[in-house]
Chains A and B, each alone.
Chain A
Amino acid sequence: MTVDRPPLRASLAALLLLGCRMAQAGEYAPADASPRWTFGGYGTLGVAHSNEDAADFTANVVNPGDAGHSRAWSPAVDSRIGMQLGVELDSAWSAVLQLVSERRLSGGYAPQVEWANIKYQVTPDLSVRVGRIALPVFIVGDYRKAGYALPWVRPPVELYGTIPISSSDGVDASYRWRAGDANNLTQVFFGRTDIAISPNDRAEARSLTGLSNTTTIGALTVRASFLTTELSVGLAHELFDGLRGFGQRGAALAERYEVNAKRADVATVGFNYDPGAWFVMGEIGRMNARSFLGDKTAAYLSAGYRVDDFTPYVGYAGARANTPTRIAGLDTAALPPQLAVPAARLNAGLNQLLSTVAQQRSFTAGVRWDLHPNYALKLQYDRITPRHGSSGTFINVQPEFRSGRPITVLSAALDFVF
């Protein structure tokens, strides 16, 4: 079984274009504008433990961690390695290729193309990129996988789990502008992305359109983003086909909850204040997928204090659903017994899907130790409480899982850059 990002049409086109540009650069570029190659990378060796053995703790759903039910200590939650090759052909043209190896839905670690894009610097303030590009959503969204650049072991799962993808294939434009003391970066983007979620099923985001603005005033950074997409997730076909067999009511339920070309919107705003000796950051976001993925709001607040090479930090995060996550479903009382039983089963299946809409609170405390240039060691404690019947951000949920019980997650991670 292979689980791959789709054929890299845009990325390949970008690389071909790059080849043409390089040929041109060789022919016409003046001698002092020789291509400048850069190579670098980042990685995390991590291990996470969860005391909940009826579900697995994971950082997001597309890179499944397996701490808790599947194994007591999981290296899969946070471990990854990324490599980035870049080239600046001249002051206007550049290109970047980033490969990331991390646990995928297939269980393998084969490297994936995270980014492959060409950038054209139109003016010192305006640039345009084509190819596979990082999604500029969330404060640390563009570098969420580069653990070294994060204060924590991983971005807060309640908020960052709402958008498990981190790049899209398309175009974006970035414009830098200044207003008084404020440096601004405004980005608009348009693209698409899809991932295989099983051998036969894909999750696909089409016409992914967004706007993001980052304002920096001294030590304060504020970012606001909005994106909208047409989302399809090929999950639970049998459930929805079953519901459609139950007349108008069943068809209406399938229409309401199936993720089939549904409009999904995400709006987030966050800040980071980091004068050097300490930092505080917070973010809030709302994601409405108009389906069983729910309409949810998630937020966190976190702060840390730097003492020499040590940065202890704390955080509090929460996620809640804005629409009901337990519904009546089909009216089993009105059905003959031979239909009432399968109808009840469909209702249970639908409610089980809705219980995966994350509703939880978590408290986090940890310490980052910059033990060596380019290396940081982090130890983190999380106390996570899924609530209101939800399984929270946990996956591989077993029948004996009970919502409302606090779960302890312990993590250790060694982050490095090279």
Chain B
Amino acid sequence: MRIFLINLLAGLLLCAGAANAAELVVIVSAKSPLAALRPDQVADIFLAQTGRFPDGEPAVALDLPLGSPLRDTFYSSMAGKSPAMMKAYWTKMVFTGRGQPPRELANSAAVRRMVADNPSMIGYIDRAALDPSVKAVAAAVQVAR
């Protein structure tokens, strides 16, 4: 099985159409002034390269559990990194004291609940878990063939 990844901005979230499409959206609180983020801006926050959103406000990333397909799709589409490369990346960051991986929450609903309450937080969830308490600022589609 090959996995094709397509990055889309939030405004371009048109139907992917494919039957097996797992769609993820990057979310911030509905209270946040942010409209859209580029994949590299999302990656910088999740890889602890920056602690701020592009507008200068503090940013804290939330992750899904290691091994979840949504997580693998997220890092490969936003940062171009496989699970093995992510492991090596965090080995460097952790054992240089430069950062810890984002806090992990159990599932999309848990991430959404935490992000909704806090404008400094950013997470990614299954598109199906989206509700008005949060808003999508970037998206990726994993099409399985």
Contacts and interface: CB of A to CB of B under 8 A. Distances in A.
Interface of A: 36, 38, 40, 42, 82, 84, 86, 88, 91, 96, 98, 115, 117, 119, 124-125, 129, 133-134, 142-143, 145-146, 148-149, 174, 176, 178, 183, 185, 216, 218, 276, 309, 370, 373-374, 417
B95 A373 contact: no
19 contacts: A38-B94, A38-B100, A40-B95, A84-B94, A86-B100, A124-B51, A125-B52, A129-B97, A134-B97, A142-B96, A142-B98, A143-B91, A143-B96, A148-B88, A149-B88, A149-B95, A178-B50, A218-B40, A374-B87
Given A146-B91, A149-B88, A133 B97 contact: yes
Contacts of B96: 134, 142-143
Given A373-B84, A373-B87, A115 B97 contact: yes
A86 B90 CA distance: 14
Contact of A125 (B51, B84, B91, B100): B51
A185 B47 CA distance: 14
Contacts of B103: 36
A373 B83 contact: yes
A417 B91 contact: yes
Contacts of A86: 94, 100
B31 interface: no
A72 B78 CA distance: 48
Contacts of B40: 218
Contacts of A88: 100
Interface of B: 40, 44, 49-52, 58-60, 80-81, 83-85, 87-88, 91-92, 94-98, 100, 103
A117 B98 CA distance: 12
B93 to A, nearest CB: 9
**Residue among B51, B80, B97 with the highest chain A CB neighbour number at 10 A:** B97
Contacts of B58: 124
Contacts of B87: 373-374, 417
A370 B84 contact: yes
A21 B59 CA distance: 24
Interface of A is mostly: strand
B92 A149 contact: yes
A417 B66 CA distance: 15
B97 A96 contact: yes
Closest 5 CB pairs of A and B: A124-B51, A142-B96, A146-B95, A149-B91, A149-B92
Contacts of A142: 95-98
Nearest to B82: A276
Nearest to B59: A124
Given A96-B97, A134-B96, A183-B44, 19 more contacts: A40-B94, A40-B95, A42-B91, A86-B100, A124-B50, A124-B52, A125-B52, A134-B97, A142-B97, A142-B98, A143-B92, A143-B96, A145-B95, A149-B92, A176-B49, A176-B50, A183-B50, A216-B49, A276-B80
Contacts of A143: 91-92, 95-96
B78 to A, nearest CB: 13
A119 B100 CA distance: 13
Contact of B91 (A119, A148, A370): A148
**Residue among B94, B95, B98 with the highest chain A CB neighbour number at 10 A:** B95
Contacts of B84: 309, 370, 373
Nearest to B101: A38
A91 B100 CA distance: 12
Contact of A276 (B81, B91, B95): B81
B113 to A, nearest CB: 12
B50 to A, nearest CB: 6
A29 B81 CA distance: 36
**Residue among A38, A143, A276 with the highest chain B CB neighbour number at 10 A:** A143
Contacts of B85: 276
A401 B40 CA distance: 54
A73 to B, nearest CB: 27
B114 to A, nearest CB: 9
Contacts of B94: 38, 40, 84, 86
Contacts of B49: 176, 183, 216
A117 B44 contact: no
